Amino acid sequence: RPTIDRELLESLPNLKVIGNSGVGVDHLDLKMISNFGVKVTNTPHAVADPTADIGMALMLASARRLVEGCQIAVSPDTKYFAVDWLGVEVTRATLGIIGMGSIGYKVAQRARAFNMRILYHNRNRRRKEEEEAVGAHYCEKMEDLLQQSDFVMLVVNLTPETHKLIGKKELGLMKPTATLINISRGGVIDQDALVEALQNKVIRAAALDVTYPEPLPRDHPLLKLNNIIITPHIGTATVQAVRMMAEEAIANMLAVLNGQPIPSEV
Amino acid sequence: LWWHKPVIDQELLQSLPNLKVIANSGVGMDHLDLKLVASFGVKMANAPHAVSSSTADTGMALLLASARRLVEGYHIAISAGTEYWEADFLGVEVTGATLGIIGMGSIGYKIALRAKAFEMNILYHNRRRRKEQEEQAVGATYCEKIDNLLQQADFVMVVVSLTPQTHKLIGKREMELMKPTATLINISRGAVIDQEALVTALQTGVIRAAALDVTYPEPLPRDHTLLKLKNVIITPHLGIKTDKATYMITEEAVENILAALNGLPIPSEVL
């Protein structure tokens, strides 16, 4: 908010720049804004660490069944903790990262410390030194990544090319023991296909910080499944990140107004 | 798999005169009377190698879940009353924060390795100091006095074994030394923390939050105050509950048993 539409832009003839707080700009009509001669900036640096952290948090919470576990721990019906109630191992498992930009790379750095085997798929292959630093193997074909991964993490931005990138076919290629984690945008996953895949145990579980729309309608089937964790888009919801995003946005806007090089123009 | 059953007492040991070895599945031995068992000439072993990674992963899972308010967030995301996301629902940053590890054995060290990848500043307190190369490999700074660690840490993770010395190691005094913005995580044994002091500390904002994979007893009585507090996450002793860890623990226990029966040195004997 506010929605940046034609009406708003026409009413602000002196508008020079829109400083977006956050890195995703899929909610902005970039062509239209550009036609008004208005610049758009985002805050890629402030978001990368907390978003990578949320990706790791969701992967660990899903693998170890943390949310279910909390419910058992506090439930009035719990008399003892079942010993054969198990999650899946993260250490030494295979993580497939789809989208290896700054955030994806930071996820790889963190996952490496868990001795995870890291595969990645990206528009461009990273440099050899970058791959070696995190022990990541490039998968030119996304199918190869999907077939081998225990955890698949989506870290792309939402564009016409990535819209419904993960659909029925892709979910079908994943292992039935695999977990899908989405920290990019809801529109990257075909949500109806995901519901079906989770219901039929085509994949083990999913963990989503983002959906389409946000929030989901209260009667959406995703909210009723017990093999899914959904969080309310908290990728950058920390005290420190909010401040850093504001600082980065302001620095960008001042650069535009002062005619200086713009750090993060979109 | 059974939890702490059968109870290894005088009566059981007397009824099993040919018993050679008890192989524990897991690393903690606080539920066994070591002196009593030894007096019957029975050897004991645990399974330290199989548990360390899974337990370290649990520690990190709890740290991240608490910092980012994951469980609260989940409830908001699925709640019937939710109409939009509040912009001021905020957690605290993990990357670049200071982690204080109390107990730097194998599990504590694996936590340090993981935390380092999150660019955390790592302090540790241990009975004995680790070798310099080990400290450097994870960028950990030794705190001879636990107080120094408590005062500086944003996250305090307790990774000690339960002994008479570590019983109620973290009490009112220790919690008051912690920052009001700090989080306490326990993946060792419930009795290492003074639970009543913890309730007070959480209720009065002495610390920000706690995340406990272990309590005393397990489970807690259903009317226990800890179950009602908003700023605590409790998990049902998940530490090693994964498919792989269960398999590895069984392998390790069998290895110990076979060694004992064949009169060979026992890989993980507990004396």
How many other C-beta atoms can be found within 10 angstroms of the C-beta atom of residue B5?
A: 8
* Burial class, B171, CB count within 10 angstroms (exposed 0-12 / middle 13-18 / buried 19+): middle
Residue A60: inside a domain? yes
pLDDT tens per residue, range A156-168: 999 999 999 999 9
| pLDDT computed for residue A82 by the predictor | 87
Cβ–Cβ gap A234/B56 under 8 Å? no
The token pair that represents A54 in the structure block: 């949320």
Q: What is the chain B residue with the closest CA to A89?
A: B242
The answer to whether residues A127 and A249 belong to one domain is no
| pLDDT computed for residue A107 by the predictor | 98
The answer to whether residues A96 and A205 belong to one domain is yes
Cβ–Cβ gap A57/B70 under 8 Å? yes
Mutation target vs B (from A79, A84, A106, A110; most B CBs, 10 A cutoff): A110
pLDDT tens per residue, range A248-263: 999 999 999 999 999 9
Mutation target vs A (from B58, B60, B78; most A CBs, 10 A cutoff): B78
| pLDDT computed for residue A227 by the predictor | 97
**B130 catalytic, yes or no?**
no
pLDDT band at A192 (very low <50, low <70, confident <90, very high): very high
The answer to whether residues A142 and A11 belong to one domain is no
| pLDDT computed for residue B27 by the predictor | 81
**Separation CA B176–CA A12 (nearest Å):** 53
| pLDDT computed for residue B184 by the predictor | 98
The answer to whether residues A93 and A75 belong to one domain is yes
- Closest by Cα among B186, B193, B184, B143 to B166: B193
Looking at CA atoms only, how far is residue B229 from chain A in angstroms?
Answer: 10
| pLDDT computed for residue B79 by the predictor | 94
For residue B189, how many C-alpha atoms fall within 13 Å in the half-sphere facing its CB? 18
Rounded-to-5 percentages of helix, strand, coil across chain B: 40, 15, 45
Cβ–Cβ gap A218/B57 under 8 Å? no
The boundaries of the domain holding residue B168 are 53-234
**Separation CA B67–CA B86 (nearest Å):** 17
Question: Across residues A32-47, what is the average pLDDT?
Answer: 93
Question: Across residues A26-49, what is the average pLDDT?
Answer: 93
* Burial class, B151, CB count within 10 angstroms (exposed 0-12 / middle 13-18 / buried 19+): middle
Edge-first strand order for the sheet with B232-234 is: B140-142, B121-125, B98-102, B155-158, B183-186, B209-212, B232-234
| pLDDT computed for residue A84 by the predictor | 83
- Closest by Cα among A36, A17, A35, A43 to A245: A43
Looking at CA atoms only, how far is residue A113 from chain B in angstroms?
Answer: 5
The answer to whether residues B34 and B107 belong to one domain is no
Residue A133: inside a domain? yes
Q: Which of B218, B224, B255, B269 is catalytic?
A: B218
Chain B neighbors of A74, CB-CB under 8 A:
227, 234
Closest partner CB to A87 (pick from B78, B113, B242):
B242
| pLDDT computed for residue B3 by the predictor | 63
- Closest by Cα among A158, A202, A199 to A182: A158
Looking at CA atoms only, how far is residue A18 from chain B in angstroms?
Answer: 19
**Separation CA A159–CA A35 (nearest Å):** 20
* Bond preceding residue A213 cis, omega within 30 of 0: yes
**Separation CA B94–CA B20 (nearest Å):** 48
Q: Which of B69, B130, B237, B252 is catalytic?
A: B237
- Closest by Cα among B156, B128, B131, B132 to B144: B128
In sequence order, the 6+-apart residues with CB closer than 8 A to the CB of A78 are A72, B219, B222, B236
| pLDDT computed for residue B126 by the predictor | 96
**Separation CA B234–CA B211 (nearest Å):** 6
Cβ–Cβ gap B74/A230 under 8 Å? yes
| pLDDT computed for residue B62 by the predictor | 98
Long-range CB contacts (within 8 A, 24+) of A215-223: A215/B77, A215/B82, A215/B83, A215/B84, A215/B85, A218/B80, A218/B82, A221/A195, A222/A191, A222/A194, A222/A195, A222/A198, A223/B77, A223/B78
The boundaries of the domain holding residue A132 are 48-230
Q: How far is CA B134 from CA A86, A234, B50, in A?
A: 32, 35, 21
The answer to whether residues B108 and B204 belong to one domain is yes
The answer to whether residues B143 and B44 belong to one domain is no
The answer to whether residues B249 and B132 belong to one domain is no
Q: What's the CATH number where A170 sits? A: 3.40.50.720
pLDDT tens per residue, range A9-19: 999 999 999 99
| pLDDT computed for residue B49 by the predictor | 80
Q: How many domains does chain B have?
A: 2
Cβ–Cβ gap B117/A113 under 8 Å? yes
Residue A263: inside a domain? no
Mutation target vs B (from A67, A116, A233; most B CBs, 10 A cutoff): A67
Closest partner CB to B80 (pick from A56, A90, A218):
A218
Closest partner CB to B219 (pick from A64, A80, A232):
A80
- Is the pTM higher than 0.80? The answer reads yes
The answer to whether residues A82 and A12 belong to one domain is no
The token pair that represents B160 in the structure block: 């000690």
Q: Within chain B, which residues score under 50 in pLDDT? A: none
The answer to whether residues A108 and A63 belong to one domain is yes
| pLDDT computed for residue B25 by the predictor | 81
Q: What's the CATH number where B23 sits? A: 3.40.50.720
The answer to whether residues A38 and A60 belong to one domain is no
pLDDT greater than 90 at residue A228: yes
The answer to whether residues B86 and B37 belong to one domain is no
Looking at CA atoms only, how far is residue B263 from chain A in angstroms?
Answer: 31
Q: How many domains does chain A have?
A: 2
The answer to whether residues A115 and A187 belong to one domain is yes
| pLDDT computed for residue B28 by the predictor | 81
Chain B neighbors of A233, CB-CB under 8 A:
85
